[in-house]
Amino acid sequence: MQFTQKSREHIDSCRFCWMCHHVCPIGNATGLERNTARARALGLSLVARNAVEYSEDIINNVYECSLCGGCMTDCVTGWDPVMFVKEARLGAALDGKLPDYVMKMIENVQKKGNIYGANLGKALSDKIKTLKKSDTLLFLGADARYKLPKCAIEAIDLLKKLGVSFTVLENEPDSGYAMDFLVSASAETKEIAEKCASTLSGFKTVICYDPQDAKIMKREYKEWGIKVKADVVTFTEFLAKTLKKQKIKNSKFVFTPQDSALLARDLEETEPIREILSKIGTVSEMLLNGKYTMLAGNLIMNEYMPEVMEKVAKNRWENAKNMDTKILVTENPAEYILLKKTKPAGIELLTLEEAVSKCL
């Protein structure tokens, strides 16, 4: 495959040192050197030099990266493994070498509009139908709509309880995040993004419940020249501003935030969740927090690496237990699902809306 000059520079400039070795959630979960950014850069450097073929094994290794950006926080030289990994995925697509498990998800997007090939459940559909038209849209995202409808309903109920006027689309378009994760900025990815942007432009404000949708709308859309007329805000940011106007008695609960890497690193948003939890209780931090947060799970990767994702979530629980966490609060549907599956006894797990509702 052919890399762009910029990616080649980043691959060639990687010193294959050990600075990022300890912060990779996948490498920590598998214990395999191949799952570290260092080893992946080494393999792709050989491909870039035409020293080895862009083989099935190397391509599978490219898809063993969560794109969480943890490696970038500790890279003293400032190189960007996420950038060249995404380009390597695009190259696999252009070369017709995508793994079967990736092709299956892409086919689901084409047929069903989401990578899971799922239909909207009746409970969430009925809840959406109760909402009136508004110039404010709550964009739920694929993970919440098809994998976590219970929490999507709870988010809707919380905003209604707080007096927010908003609506939710029953036929919500795909944001393009999953395709960007799988094959980067392909023509198909941009086409999906453009259709979504066109729909969003009919609203004044778009509240992204899922950090992954906020990330692609606020960052990638701009890079691709796709304009959204609406003001796009994260659910966490919107909730923090809304709660400032509310009189809430501070509880005695001690909350520990599980920062979403998509918010903390990609969008540099770390304060809203702390503002919310400080208003309703007390904040107790984990050692790895803010931009140094550790990934707790990825539902796209869970489709083809479920055992590894379970281990990733368990490792994050170990981090929480080491800091004597009482209540862990998530702001990412994917992480909530995988943390819920692996939750140890003695620690409570809440979504952000559950934490707020608990204290209202």
Query: What pLDDT is recorded for position 15?
Result: 64
Q: Which residues contact 146 (CB under 8 A, 6 or more apart)?
A: 114, 116, 118, 119, 120, 121
pLDDT in tens, 324-334: 999 999 999 99
- Can you point out the beta strands (E) in 153-311? 205-208, 231-234, 254-258, 282-283
Mean pLDDT of the chain: 94
**Residues 6 or more apart whose Cβ sits within 8 Å of residue 225:** none
Q: How far apart are CA 176 and CA 196, in angstroms?
A: 8
pLDDT surpasses 70 at 77: yes
Q: Is it the case that residue 52 has pLDDT exceeding 80?
A: yes
Beta pairing class for 327-330 and 348-351: parallel
Token digits of residue 129 = 């139908």
Tens digits of residue pLDDT in 149-207? 999 999 999 999 999 999 999 999 999 999 999 999 999 999 999 999 999 999 999 99
pLDDT of residue 16: 63
The answer to whether 10 touches 56, Cβ cutoff 8 Å, is: no
pLDDT at residue number 14? 67
Tell me the per-residue pLDDT of 203-235, one tens digit each, with 9 for 90 and over.
Answer: 999 999 999 999 999 999 999 999 999 999 999
